[in-house]
Amino acid sequence: MGRLNVNLCGIELDNPVIPASGTFGYGYEYAELFDINCLGTFSFKGTTKDPRFGNPTPRIAECTAGMINAVGLQNPGVEKVISEELPKLKKCFHKPVMANVSGFSIEDYAYTCEKLDAQEQVGWLEVNVSCPNVHGGGMSFGTDPKAAAEVTAAVKKVTTKPVIVKLSPNVTDIVSIAKACEDAGADGISLINTMLGMRIDLRTRKPIIANKMGGFSGSAIFPVAVRMVYQVANAVKVPVVGMGGVTTAEDVIEMMLAGATAVEIGAANLVDPWVCRDIINALPEVMDKYRINSLSEIIGGTK
């Protein structure tokens, strides 16, 4: 096992760096820029049972040290992802991929997860109960322990691959929700998704985003993410995937010290499409600086 290797829910990763869902498409777009097989894996674009056009525009607003988005889970639906997107991905990515799934009912989640679980390329199912940009689904499941547990249990009944439940930071008690998902059978927890934010145009005096509010991401949320990863990692026995404002190799190590087994990188991909590759390349030097022999040894190293 190499210095950068980690084991996520029984699957070996060459390194812990994972581009986050919604910032890396279905992978082949980035494969035109660099060999994406250098990644540990990546979480592909959030997929729903049926096709979604997403929210009306404008969907993006800039802000200090971050951005707000309200794309609204635009995707072609699970059938087309399986028939069109995954075959294209197979030509350029030769590792298990993480399938990110969203839904508007427990039945939606179960249907989509069962379909993707059957795909050879899929290694993990990242079940998103935390999207702040859609109405009637997503975050409504992730803000209540009972509802999050019901989604988890339903998905586990129809799948064989590791189920990682993605949680929202827009709650008062993240630990109770994480523990409810673990008790319902989750094989891992990923957090945090975007925080809920808003910008107002001073000239029009109206919200910049048509959806009014959206998901706030970027380096500004990193301390919140570290805190929540630390809290959850110390409360559950399953692996934690940490994310939220990660932009450097130092951030990856800090997130792992907080308890993350692997680390997702989101908004930074939209600023610098080579950021994940560059972070992976920088990790050995940063490890040497802080006298770290193996990344797997530092997981949860802060008590």
- The rounded distance, in Å, linking the Cα atoms of 124 and 74 is 21
Listed in sequence order, the residues at least 6 apart from 172 whose beta carbon sits closer than 8 Å to its beta carbon are none
- The rounded distance, in Å, linking the Cα atoms of 229 and 215 is 18
- The rounded distance, in Å, linking the Cα atoms of 17 and 261 is 10
Judged against a pLDDT cut of 80, whether residue 13 lies above it is answered with yes
User: Which two structure tokens, joined as six digits, stand for 66?
Assistant: 């971050």
Judged against a pLDDT cut of 80, whether residue 141 lies above it is answered with no
Beta bridge partners of 75: 52
Categorize the per-residue pLDDT at 140 as very low, low, confident or very high, splitting at 50, 70 and 90: low
* Contact indicator for 181, 126 with CB cutoff of 8 Å: no
Judged against a pLDDT cut of 90, whether residue 38 lies above it is answered with yes
User: Which two structure tokens, joined as six digits, stand for 184?
Assistant: 């319902």
Query: What proportion of the chain, given as a percentage, has pLDDT over 70?
Result: 96
Task: Indicate whether 68 belongs to any domain.
Answer: no
Q: Which residue has the higher pLDDT, 157 or 140?
A: 157
Residue 190: the pLDDT is 97
Categorize the per-residue pLDDT at 137 as very low, low, confident or very high, splitting at 50, 70 and 90: very low
Residue 105: the pLDDT is 87
Q: Which domain holds residue 281?
A: 6-58+73-196+216-297
Q: What is the DSSP string of 43-63?
A: BPPPB-SS-B--SPSP-EEEE
Task: Indicate whether 66 belongs to any domain.
Answer: no
State the average pLDDT over residues 220-236: 98
Task: Indicate whether 20 belongs to any domain.
Answer: yes
Residue type, 105: S
3-state secondary structure of 37: helix
- The rounded distance, in Å, linking the Cα atoms of 115 and 84 is 14
State the average pLDDT over residues 115-125: 98
- The rounded distance, in Å, linking the Cα atoms of 281 and 40 is 12
Judged against a pLDDT cut of 80, whether residue 1 lies above it is answered with no
Judged against a pLDDT cut of 50, whether residue 244 lies above it is answered with yes
Tell me the CATH number at 54: 3.20.20.70
Annotated active-site residue in 38, 63, 113, 131: 131
Categorize the per-residue pLDDT at 73 as very low, low, confident or very high, splitting at 50, 70 and 90: confident
Residue 136: the pLDDT is 47
Report the mean per-residue pLDDT for the chain. 93
Of the candidates 232, 253, 264, the residue with the CA atom closest to the CA atom of residue 299? 253
Residue 23: the pLDDT is 94
38 among known catalytic residues: no
3-state secondary structure of 65: coil
State the average pLDDT over residues 42-60: 92
- State how far the alpha carbon of 162 is from the alpha carbons of 2, 155, 189, 226, in Å: 23, 10, 11, 23
Split into its structural domains, the chain has a count of 1
State the average pLDDT over residues 96-121: 95
Beta bridge partners of 263: 17, 242
Q: What is the DSSP letter of 62?
A: E
Judged against a pLDDT cut of 90, whether residue 275 lies above it is answered with yes
Residue 131: the pLDDT is 56
